[in-house]
Protein backbone atom coordinates (compact mmCIF):
# COMPACT_ATOMS: atom_id res chain seq x y z
CA UNK A 1 0.00 0.00 0.00
CA UNK A 2 1.57 3.31 -1.05
CA UNK A 3 2.10 6.00 1.54
CA UNK A 4 0.04 9.19 1.18
CA UNK A 5 1.76 12.40 0.14
CA UNK A 6 3.20 14.28 3.13
CA UNK A 7 1.49 17.44 4.28
CA UNK A 8 3.83 20.42 4.35
CA UNK A 9 2.84 23.14 6.79
CA UNK A 10 3.88 26.77 6.36
CA UNK A 11 6.54 28.02 8.80
CA UNK A 12 4.12 30.50 10.41
CA UNK A 13 1.68 27.73 11.33
CA UNK A 14 4.45 25.55 12.76
CA UNK A 15 5.69 28.50 14.82
CA UNK A 16 2.21 29.06 16.25
CA UNK A 17 1.96 25.38 17.23
CA UNK A 18 5.24 25.51 19.15
CA UNK A 19 5.27 28.94 20.74
CA UNK A 20 7.45 28.15 23.77
CA UNK A 21 10.36 26.16 22.38
CA UNK A 22 14.07 26.71 22.46
CA UNK A 23 14.53 26.93 18.67
CA UNK A 24 12.29 29.95 18.23
CA UNK A 25 15.07 31.89 16.43
CA UNK A 26 15.37 29.25 13.71
CA UNK A 27 11.65 29.47 12.94
CA UNK A 28 11.89 33.26 12.83
CA UNK A 29 14.73 33.10 10.32
CA UNK A 30 12.74 30.69 8.12
CA UNK A 31 9.80 33.11 8.18
CA UNK A 32 12.13 36.02 7.29
CA UNK A 33 13.54 34.11 4.30
CA UNK A 34 9.99 33.27 3.17
CA UNK A 35 9.01 36.95 3.35
CA UNK A 36 12.13 38.03 1.46
CA UNK A 37 11.48 35.60 -1.39
CA UNK A 38 7.96 36.82 -1.94
CA UNK A 39 6.91 39.95 -3.77
CA UNK A 40 9.62 42.32 -2.56
CA UNK A 41 12.15 41.92 -5.37
CA UNK A 42 12.32 44.84 -7.78
CA UNK A 43 14.91 43.11 -9.96
CA UNK A 44 14.19 39.70 -11.46
CA UNK A 45 16.78 37.67 -13.31
CA UNK A 46 15.60 34.76 -15.40
CA UNK A 47 18.39 32.52 -16.62
CA UNK A 48 18.42 29.60 -18.98
CA UNK A 49 19.44 26.46 -17.08
CA UNK A 50 19.30 22.69 -17.39
CA UNK A 51 17.73 22.32 -13.94
CA UNK A 52 15.74 24.44 -11.48
CA UNK A 53 18.95 25.96 -10.13
CA UNK A 54 21.93 27.65 -11.72
CA UNK A 55 25.18 25.70 -11.77
CA UNK A 56 27.65 26.96 -9.14
CA UNK A 57 30.00 28.58 -11.67
CA UNK A 58 27.13 30.57 -13.24
CA UNK A 59 25.86 31.52 -9.78
CA UNK A 60 29.32 32.91 -8.89
CA UNK A 61 29.54 34.77 -12.21
CA UNK A 62 26.09 36.28 -11.66
CA UNK A 63 27.08 37.37 -8.14
CA UNK A 64 30.19 39.07 -9.61
CA UNK A 65 28.00 40.91 -12.14
CA UNK A 66 25.65 42.07 -9.39
CA UNK A 67 28.56 43.17 -7.19
CA UNK A 68 29.88 45.28 -10.07
CA UNK A 69 26.44 46.94 -10.22
CA UNK A 70 26.59 47.54 -6.45
CA UNK A 71 23.80 45.01 -5.85
CA UNK A 72 23.83 41.78 -3.92
CA UNK A 73 22.07 38.50 -4.57
CA UNK A 74 19.61 39.15 -1.71
CA UNK A 75 18.19 42.18 -3.56
CA UNK A 76 17.44 40.15 -6.67
CA UNK A 77 15.06 37.31 -7.46
CA UNK A 78 16.92 34.73 -9.53
CA UNK A 79 14.82 32.10 -11.24
CA UNK A 80 15.47 29.73 -14.12
CA UNK A 81 13.45 29.10 -17.23
CA UNK A 82 12.32 25.81 -15.65
CA UNK A 83 10.10 27.73 -13.21
CA UNK A 84 6.50 27.58 -14.51
CA UNK A 85 6.02 31.27 -13.64
CA UNK A 86 8.48 32.29 -16.35
CA UNK A 87 5.99 31.50 -19.11
CA UNK A 88 4.27 34.88 -18.75
CA UNK A 89 5.68 38.33 -17.96
CA UNK A 90 2.35 39.32 -16.36
CA UNK A 91 2.65 36.54 -13.79
CA UNK A 92 6.24 37.50 -13.00
CA UNK A 93 5.26 41.14 -12.49
CA UNK A 94 2.22 40.21 -10.40
CA UNK A 95 4.36 38.06 -8.11
CA UNK A 96 7.46 40.24 -7.78
CA UNK A 97 6.33 43.74 -8.74
CA UNK A 98 9.54 43.92 -10.76
CA UNK A 99 10.88 47.20 -12.08
CA UNK A 100 13.65 45.44 -14.03
CA UNK A 101 13.67 41.98 -15.61
CA UNK A 102 16.88 40.62 -17.09
CA UNK A 103 16.80 37.54 -19.32
CA UNK A 104 19.96 35.47 -19.80
CA UNK A 105 19.82 33.02 -22.69
CA UNK A 106 16.13 33.71 -23.33
CA UNK A 107 14.28 35.86 -25.83
CA UNK A 108 11.50 38.31 -24.89
CA UNK A 109 8.95 35.97 -26.48
CA UNK A 110 9.90 33.21 -24.02
CA UNK A 111 8.09 35.16 -21.28
CA UNK A 112 5.21 36.09 -23.63
CA UNK A 113 6.41 39.66 -24.01
CA UNK A 114 4.58 41.11 -27.03
CA UNK A 115 7.52 43.26 -28.16
CA UNK A 116 10.83 42.22 -29.66
CA UNK A 117 14.07 44.11 -29.16
CA UNK A 118 17.69 43.23 -29.84
CA UNK A 119 20.02 41.81 -27.19
CA UNK A 120 21.59 44.32 -24.79
CA UNK A 121 18.94 46.96 -25.56
CA UNK A 122 16.82 48.13 -22.61
CA UNK A 123 13.13 48.09 -23.48
CA UNK A 124 10.38 49.56 -21.31
CA UNK A 125 6.96 47.94 -21.38
CA UNK A 126 4.13 48.54 -18.89
CA UNK A 127 6.34 50.21 -16.23
CA UNK A 128 9.01 47.49 -16.37
CA UNK A 129 12.44 47.65 -17.98
CA UNK A 130 13.51 44.51 -19.86
CA UNK A 131 16.95 43.48 -20.98
CA UNK A 132 17.87 40.25 -22.69
CA UNK A 133 21.32 38.89 -23.32
CA UNK A 134 23.02 35.62 -24.25
CA UNK A 135 23.34 32.91 -21.60
CA UNK A 136 25.57 33.47 -18.58
CA UNK A 137 27.83 30.71 -19.86
CA UNK A 138 28.29 32.45 -23.23
CA UNK A 139 28.90 35.85 -21.65
CA UNK A 140 31.45 34.47 -19.21
CA UNK A 141 33.44 32.96 -22.09
CA UNK A 142 33.38 36.02 -24.41
CA UNK A 143 34.96 39.34 -23.48
CA UNK A 144 33.02 41.36 -26.11
CA UNK A 145 29.72 40.05 -24.71
CA UNK A 146 30.87 41.04 -21.20
CA UNK A 147 31.56 44.58 -22.41
CA UNK A 148 28.16 44.82 -24.13
CA UNK A 149 26.40 43.54 -21.01
CA UNK A 150 28.31 46.00 -18.82
CA UNK A 151 27.30 48.94 -21.05
CA UNK A 152 23.64 47.92 -20.79
CA UNK A 153 23.78 47.38 -17.04
CA UNK A 154 25.32 50.83 -16.55
CA UNK A 155 22.26 52.29 -18.29
CA UNK A 156 19.85 50.09 -16.33
CA UNK A 157 21.47 50.80 -12.94
CA UNK A 158 23.07 54.27 -13.16
| 31 located within any domain | yes
Structural domain for 141, as ranges:
40-156
Q: Identify whether 3 is part of a domain.
A: no
Kindly state whether residues 63 and 89 are assigned to the same domain.
Answer: yes
Same domain, 56 and 15: no
CATH number at residue 52: 3.40.50.10220
- Residue 8 pLDDT greater than 50, yes or no: yes
**Are 20 and 82 found together in one domain?**
no
**pLDDT tens for residues 72-99?**
888 898 888 888 877 888 888 888 888 9
Q: What is the mean pLDDT of residues 16-34?
A: 50
- If DSSP codes are grouped into helix, strand and coil, which group holds residue 66? helix
Clarify whether residues 24 and 53 are in a common domain: no
> pTM for this one?
0.72
Q: Which residues, at least 6 apart from 148, have a Cβ–Cβ distance to it below 8 Å?
A: 119, 120, 133
60 and 126 share a domain?
yes
What are the pLDDT digits (tens) for 92-127?
Answer: 888 888 899 999 999 999 999 999 999 999 999 998
User: Left (φ > 0), alpha (ψ -120 to 50) or beta: where does 45 sit?
Assistant: beta
Amino acid sequence: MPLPNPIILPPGLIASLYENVLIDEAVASIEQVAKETSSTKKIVIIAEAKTNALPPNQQLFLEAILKACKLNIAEVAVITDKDPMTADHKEINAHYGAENIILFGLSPSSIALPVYFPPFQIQSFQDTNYLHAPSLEDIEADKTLKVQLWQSLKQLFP
